[in-house]
Amino acid sequence: MMNNKSNFNLPNTITLMRICVVPFLFILLADPGRFWSLIIAVLFVIASLTDILDGYIARKYQMITTMGKFLDPIADKLIINSAMILMIPIYRIPAWIVVITIMRDLIVDAIRSIASSDGLFIQASRLGKQKTVAQIIAVTALMIHYPVFGADAHVVGLAILYIALILTIYSGIDYFVKFYRTINK
């Protein structure tokens, strides 16, 4: 149920707070040592988990708004893509992976816009959600970067990042196929 009476409700406020984490990424990833790497990873995880919280509150209390439907995916992409971009110059993530990820996001957003302008809605796929979870885990490990509990967080993060990359490509193809099938009905 769509409730547009007040776009400034609790779920949308939580989403806006998630967007406000992005400037902290710039500051904390500029010169991350062990301590700041851990702090930014914790902040990133908290911000990422608020995505679940705001969606839950919006659905449970029927506070879904047009603003929320617009801001939520933007907040996810802003925080994940910003973190990935900022880790390129500190050699924690390969630039080519970030480029493919951002290209996929732009293509999927374009597909959604075209579909929406024709009155069509393409549901977010399970693959897209799995991609996001894999990206969050990979980015968190790459932010930590240093060995934790005997595991090299950087190596673990890169391994999960490659899984996220496969899901990124596959989910992008899935959106395109769904779009193609939808417009040809």
Contacts of 81 (CB under 8 A, 6+ apart): 98, 101, 102, 105
With b for 16 or more beta-carbon neighbours within 10 A and e for fewer, the 39-74 pattern comes to: ebbebbeebbebbeebbebbeeeebbbebbeebbbe
pLDDT tens, 55-96?
899 889 999 888 888 888 889 999 999 999 999 999 999 999
| pTM, to two decimals | 0.89
- The arithmetic mean of pLDDT across residues 88-106, rounded, is 96
pLDDT tens, 138-151?
999 999 988 888 89
- Judge whether residue 134 has pLDDT over 70: yes
Q: CA 65, CA 95: separation in Å to the nearest integer?
A: 35
pLDDT above 90 as % of the chain: 58
Output the pLDDT for position 7: 76
pLDDT higher for 1 or 96?
Answer: 96
